[in-house]
Structure 1
Amino acid sequence: MNTLLRRHDVVIMGGGLAGLTLALQLKRRFDDIDVVVLERRTHPVPHATHKVGESSVEIGAHYFDTVLGLKPHMHGAQLRKFGFRFFFSEGRRDIDQVTEIGASRYLSVPSYQIDRGIFENYLAEEAARHGVNFIDSALVGQIELATDARELHRLRWSQDGVTHVIESRWLIDACGRAGMLKRKLGLAQPNAHDCNAVWFRIGDRITIDDWSDDPAWRARCNPQARWLSTNHLVGAGYWVWLIPLASGSHSIGIVADPRLHPLDTIDTFDKAMQWFQTYQPRLYDELDGKRHLLQDFAFFRNFSYGCKQVFSGRRWALTGEAGLFLDPFYSPGSDFIAMSNTYITDLVAHDRAGHALEARAQLYDQIYHSFYESTLALYTDQYPLFGDPVVLPVKVLWDYTYYWGVLSQIFFHRRLTDLALLGSVRDELQHCQRLNFAVQDFLRAWSGVSDKRNAAVMHDQAALPWFAELNRSLNDDLDDDAFKARVRASTAQLGALAREILERATGDHPDLEGTALRALLAEEPAAPCAAGAAAEDMLFAAV
Structure 2
Amino acid sequence: MSQHSLETLSSSSFDIVIAGGGLAGLTLARQLRRAHPSLSVLIVDREKGPLPEATHKVGESSVELGSRYLETIGLRDYLVKNHIFKFGLRFFPGGGELPIHERMEIGPAQEPIVPSYQLDRGRFENDLRRMIVEEDGAVFLEGVKVENIELGTGGERHRALLSSGEMEREIDARWFIDATGRSAVLRRDLKLTRGSGHTAHSGWFRVKGRVDITAFSPNDKRWTEAAWAEHRWRSTNHLMGNGYWVWIIPLSSGNTSIGAVVHEPPHSFDKVRTLERTRAFIQEHEPRLYEILEGYEVLDFRTVKSYANNIARGWSADRWALVGEAGAFVDPLYSPGTDFIAFANSFTEEMIRADLAGEDLEVRARELSMQYRSLVSGSTDIYRRAAPVYGHPRAMHMKVYWDNFSYWSYPCQFYMQELYRLTGEKLTAVSLVGQRYVELSNYVQKMLAAWASLKQERPKGSFGGMPHFPSVLIDAHMNLRNELSPDEALEYMRSQLVLAEEIVSEIAIRVAFEVGDALLDAWIEQSELKTFNLRLSSARIASEPLRGLARRRALSEIERDLERTLGRGESNSSEGAVRERLAHLIVDDLGARVVQ
Structure 1 length normalisation: TM-score? 0.94
Are 1:391 and 1:450, in contact at CA under 8 Å, matched by a contact in 2? no
Contact conserved, 1:500 with 1:536, CA < 8 A, in 2?
no
Residue 272 of structure 1: how far off its partner (Å): 2.5
Distance in structure 2 (CA, Å) of the matches to 1:117 and 1:525? 56
Aligned amino acid, residue 44 of structure 1 = P
The answer for the alignment partner of 2:323 in structure 1 is: 319
Q: What percentage of residue pairs aligned between the two structures are identical?
A: 35
CA gap 1:521/1:36 in 2 versus in 1, 3 angstroms: same
Residue 32 in 1 paired to residue 38 in 2? yes
Deviations 1:418-474 (A, max 9, x none): 235433344322221211122212221121223423111011113242211211110
- Give the aligned residue type for 2:450: A
The 5 A counterparts of 1:122-271 are 122-129=127-134, 130-149=136-155, 151-212=156-217, 213-222=219-228, 224-271=230-277
Q: How does 1:345-384 map to 2 (within 5 A)?
A: 345-384=349-388
Which residue pairs with 1:116 in the alignment? 121
Q: Is the 8 A contact 1:107 1:472 kept in 2?
A: no
After superposing on structure 2, the runs of 4+ consecutive aligned residues of structure 1 that deviate more than 6 Å are 1-5, 523-527
- 1:455-499 alpha-carbon deviations (Å, 9 max, x no partner): 110111132422112111100122334212211121012112101
Of 419, 435, 438, the residue aligned with 1:433 is: 438
2:574 alignment counterpart: none
What is the match of residue 336 of structure 1?
Answer: 340
Whether the 8 Å contact between 1:390 and 1:450 is mirrored in structure 2 is no
Instruction: Verify: 1:307 aligned to 2:333, yes or no.
Output: no
Q: Is the 8 A contact 1:327 1:379 kept in 2?
A: yes
Report the AA paired with residue 101 of structure 1: I
Q: Indicate whether 1:411 and 2:415 are aligned.
A: yes
Q: Any idea what SS the aligned residue of 1:390 has?
A: helix
Distance (Å, rounded) in 1 between the aligned partners of 2:251 and 2:335: 15
CA contact (8 A) 2:443 2:532 kept: no
Amino acid at match of 1:534: I
CA contact (8 A) 2:19 2:180 kept: yes
Distance of 1:14 and 1:525 partners within structure 2: 57
Structure number with the bigger relative contact order (C-alpha 8 A, sep ≥ 6) is 1
1:386-397 pair list within 5 angstroms: 386-397=390-401
Secondary structure of the residue aligned to 2:18 is strand
Task: Please tell me the root mean square deviation across aligned C-alpha atoms, in Å.
Answer: 2.1
CA, structure 1 residues 177+521, in 2 after alignment: closer, same or farther (shift >3 Å)?
Answer: same
Deviations 1:199-238 (A, max 9, x none): 0000110011111232222233436211111000000010
1:439-518 aligned at under 5 Å gives the runs: 439-465=444-470, 466-509=472-515, 510=517, 511=520, 512-513=523-524, 516=529
Q: Which has the larger radius of gyration?
A: 2
1:398 equivalent in alignment to 2:402: yes
TM-score by length of 2: 0.86
Pairing partner for 2:28 from 22, 31, 37: 22
Q: Which runs of 5+ in 1 are unaligned?
A: none
SS in 2 for 1:142: strand
Tell me the CA shift for residue 518 of structure 1: 7.5
Which position in structure 1 is the counterpart of 2:566?
540
| Residues matched between the structures, number | 535
Give the stretch that moved more between structures: 505-514 or 151-160: 505-514
- Which one is further off, 407-416 or 426-435? 426-435
Query: Which whole-Å CA distance do the structure 1 matches of 2:422 and 2:86 have between them?
Result: 31
Shift of 1:184: 1.6
**Structure 2: stretches of 5+ with no match in the other structure:** 1-5, 541-555, 570-596
Residue of structure 2 equivalent to 1:61: 67
Contact conserved, 1:171 with 1:315, CA < 8 A, in 2? yes
Q: Aligned partners of 1:412 and 1:500: how far apart in 2?
A: 29
C-alpha deviation, 1:269, in angstroms: 2.4
Q: Secondary structure at the match of 1:37?
A: strand
SS in 2 for 1:242: strand
* SS of the residue 1:416 aligns to: helix
Residue identity opposite 1:299 in structure 2: T
Which secondary structure does the structure 2 equivalent of 1:234 belong to? strand
CA distance in 1, matches of 2:394, 2:422: 40
Q: Distance in 2 between matches of 1:431 and 1:526?
A: 25
Q: 1:261 aligns to what SS in structure 2? A: coil
Q: Kindly state the Cα deviation for residue 523 of structure 1 after the two structures are TM-superposed.
A: 9.9
In structure 2, how many angstroms separate the alpha carbons of the residues matched to 1:517 and 1:58? 35
Measured after TM superposition, the shift of residue 366 of structure 1 is 0.3
**Aligned partner letter, 1:498:** V
